[in-house]
Chain A
Amino acid sequence: MARPQTKTQHIGRSLPRLEDRTLLTGRGRFAADISFPGQLHMRVVRSSFAHGRLRSIDARAALATSGVYAVWAAADVADIPPIDFRLSRVAGLEPYRQRLFSTDRVRYVGEPVAAVFAEDPYLAEDAAELVAVEIEELPAILGACDDPGEFEPGLSTEPAILRKGYGDADAAFASAHTIVAATLSIGRHSGVPLETRGAIARYDAARDVLELHGAAKVPHWNRDQIARMLGRRPASVQLYEGHVGGGFGIRGELYPEDLLVCAAALRFERPVKWIEDRREHLIAANHSRQQQHHVRAAVDREGVILALEDEIFYDQGGYVRTHAATVPDLAVAMLPGPYRVPAYRASARIRLTNKTPCGTYRAPGRFESTFVRERLMDAVAEKLDLDRIEVRRRNLISKEQMPYARALDTLGTEIILDSGDYAGLLGKALAAVEWPALRREIVNRRKKGELVGAGVALFVEKSGLGPFDEVKIEVGGDGAVELISGSASVGQGMETALAQICADTLGVDYRDVHVVHGQTDRIERGMGAFASRVTVMTGEATRLAATAVRAKALAAAAELLQTPVGALDVVDGEVVRTDAAAGPSISLGALAQTLGPTANGRSPGESGLKAGGCFESRHMNYPYGVHVAVTRIDRATGGVTIERYLVAYDVGKAVNPMLIEGQIAGGCAQGIGGTLLEEFLYDERGEPLSVTLADYLMPTAREIPQIDVLICEDAPSPLNPMGLKGAGEGGANAVGAALAAAIDDALGLPNAVTELPITPQRLKRLIEESTLRRTSREA
């Protein structure tokens, strides 16, 4: 029998995705595609006031409508507690958690106050408009920098101040050659996936199981919470993830609507379906990013940082949701980035406002703090008349200093930068864009009157958050490999990446690996997909499980083929001898059949060709990167054209470079949106103004340039055997910083950009300022 002489290598190759065929043929199963016979449709009635006292809800007209099954308000779910925190719990935040419905006060436009359940979604929406909600309007607090007010009697709108730091910042500032300060703001925007949220609950009384379909991101955590909140055994609640139309932080967190469909399905004993519309999504699902920083650097005469100090005003919106203090925690902890910062002192004031509650968005806290830190580095360069690149080089943590303990913590882990060659990557990025030639070209074009400029920003990312991830792998009698993970897919291609790791470790074709994710009834526990953790944590768990399956296969085959294990290998799903060109072989499928529960007196525990793997990790690892942007500004319109964009990123080890490039380019596009276009605006009464995709402007193919991606593997992580680091967020991380620097440069106006997004209106003002300054210089 002919057999391949060399094994197919999967890891490191840009193989086509296993996910694509289903999605390209319209066979995907997104939340709205799921329906059950006899289902009711839920429509949420939402507050139309930013802040007010809820006086009364009159549902009589709605209930009198044919086809309306029930209308609920707070009293109907009074026994269900508020939604708890998943991450970054901080003392004092508990009273600010959100309940399913507003009880006595409404705190943002879009807050659920009632829900209509009807036979048809059109009917439900009609009836929701008949629910009369009386609200006595109260003055709204709309700015996190305004004086704190009252959340409710006795509770301030500033529940907590996060503080982190180390070293003697006071001494450093007292002895500094120069102090550089800036006030910098980041606008309110969010992930806005193309698929809105959706939740379909069904109670199966025969099995006493509550099912929730449309799950995403963290199905196991959500399962446990739903069970706790509804007073059920966790095993009697199961969550099912189908296809997910984009994650980005916002999708898959536990929201009031998820609990409402579950509670209703239990009480009505009928399936209940809720599909969010776009307006609801833009006012009810998590917003993110809005912060103001008051930052200062103490530097010596060479531009070397002696200390950093930052005070952040973090706009949390109306309630504190599942992320608790995650965003400000990451902003404060990751602000020092790739630089040696001998002393550091930062605080984040968590402020409640009467706007949509906030959570995470791709590179949470880092998009913001990279903007702040890199703006500050540009300001230091300007103040000391140093080159912007040179001042960065002087402050970078060196390769020799790795691993570098930061004396800070975030997400419950100590920050120990595990590996990195920051100066090396900066050099590669500058070489890739031919920086000196680029500078010369820009100078020449500027002389001809063009507003063109370049900016560079450096950042450190984090990935591979633990504490564990688990994978079960089983080879069936037909040779198909099933890989069951407690992780989740948000469209990033995790099925393909895990299949590639499994394929190389076990010795099969990756197309024969079927990856199961997001199904709580298939695996007991799982952490889900967030914090760029899947390839690292689930990837290593996959390698461990596949290694164990392979060992089991070789041991069984050694017995059957009368050959020592050391002389066997698994090649393309077949156990073969490596010490002879020909000879007997056996397929993994045939081996699996010999390992049946009754075969050869095996105990049930040993039966089957299967094994589990669990990877535990107490520390995150830290990928890093460099963004280089070249922009041209239209003097007349304030429009920005991105002529060139490069992201250099060290991922440790690239499982599938094509997918990493896709993650980087996609993240970068979102970063461009948040830097130039996207902003949730409110009027002075807290009425949201960005409620359609025609008001909330996301970039199109017109605005996004070719993003050049330079993937490097110079600093594999020492924290896992393959050296993996995550790639989900590095594309977004430094866009605000790099574009701001490029725009400053184009305007010839250092420190000009202090606020994101850099909308045409804001840019027009800067252009006028730039023109004025030039005129006065010439005069």
Chain B
Amino acid sequence: MTERTSITLTVNERAYAISVEPRRTLVDAIREDCGQTGTHIGCEHGVCGACTVLVDGAPVRSCLMFAVQAQGKAIRTVESLADGDELNPLQRAFMEHHGLQCGFCTPGFLMLVTGVLERHPEIGDEELIDVLSSNLCRCTGYQNIVKAVRAAAAELRRR
């Protein structure tokens, strides 16, 4: 299993030439080989969603994808959201609505919501709850996350 393949991953518009075993998960490659540790690992079996990143714009559990499968695709992680020190509207809304406590699940929620709002800016409340219920948070009880996402969605629609 130790045969390695050379691939290039494009994370946040930056190319990383890395050498990985075929079995290496995308999340391990993002964290260990590309050094972007903002994406977290919560369960490694695709349930919790802490490792959610965007692959070609779609939210993906990066623990369920192999790094080699992501070659040639545009990967976006939590590190891409802020503009320097300037938080984006979604990050700001999480802060204003106390949508995070320990912060471990937060990058996954931010990327899940980013992907969904980019594709469905007019998403309805019920559908939004369904989307948010695909990730786990153990601290907040979710309602502040829901409020933050609604506020950010409204702001993005106004723009």
Residues of A bordering B, CB below 8 Å: 16-17, 19-30, 32-33, 66, 122-123, 126, 191-196, 243-248, 277-278, 490-493, 658-659, 661-662, 665-670, 692-694, 698-707, 731
Contact = CB atoms under 8 A, between A and B. Distances in A.
B111 to A, nearest CB: 10
A26 B107 contact: yes
A707 B143 contact: yes
Q: Which of A122, A191, A701 has the most CB of B within 10 A?
A: A701
A698 B136 contact: yes
B58 interface: no
A662 B140 CA distance: 6
B103 A23 contact: yes
B62 interface: no
B106 interface: yes
A665 B141 contact: yes
B139 interface: yes
B21 A122 contact: yes
A24 B87 contact: yes
Contact of A491 (B48, B103, B143): B103
A21 B133 contact: no
Contacts of A30: 37, 40, 104
B36 A20 contact: no
B50 A194 contact: yes
Contacts of B38: 25-28
Contact of A698 (B23, B91, B100, B138): B138
Contacts of A22: 103
A27 B82 CA distance: 11
B48 A122 contact: no
A24 B102 contact: no
A194 B79 contact: no
A666 to B, nearest CB: 5
A26 B102 contact: no
A336 B80 CA distance: 53
Contact of A243 (B42, B45, B48, B102): B102
Contact of B95 (A21, A191, A665, A698): A21
A30 B2 CA distance: 28
A704 B106 CA distance: 18
A692 B45 contact: yes
Interface residues of B, number: 56
B10 interface: no
Nearest to B38: A26
Contacts of B145: 701
B150 interface: no
Interface in B88-125: 91, 94-96, 98, 100-107, 110
Contacts of B82: 24-25
17 contacts: A20-B100, A24-B78, A25-B81, A29-B37, A32-B31, A194-B102, A194-B137, A245-B102, A245-B105, A662-B101, A665-B144, A666-B101, A668-B141, A693-B136, A701-B133, A701-B146, A704-B143
Given A17-B95, A669-B141, A694 B45 contact: yes
Contact of A278 (B42, B107, B141): B42
Q: Which of A29, A491, A707 has the most CB of B within 10 A?
A: A491
A407 to B, nearest CB: 36
Contacts of B45: 278, 692-694
B36 to A, nearest CB: 7
Given A25-B78, A28-B104, 13 more contacts: A19-B103, A20-B103, A24-B94, A26-B39, A30-B37, A244-B102, A245-B105, A666-B101, A666-B139, A693-B43, A700-B134, A702-B130, A707-B143
Contact of A195 (B36, B42, B44, B94): B42
Contacts of A29: 37
B33 to A, nearest CB: 12
Contact of B102 (A491, A694, A699, A704): A491
A702 B145 CA distance: 12
B70 interface: no
A84 B19 CA distance: 45
B21 A658 contact: no
Nearest to A243: B103
Given A25-B79, A662-B101, A491 B139 contact: yes
Contacts of A192: 138
B52 interface: no
Contacts of A191: 138
Interface in B1-54: 1-2, 21, 23-24, 31, 36-45, 47-48, 50
Contact of A16 (B31, B96, B138): B96
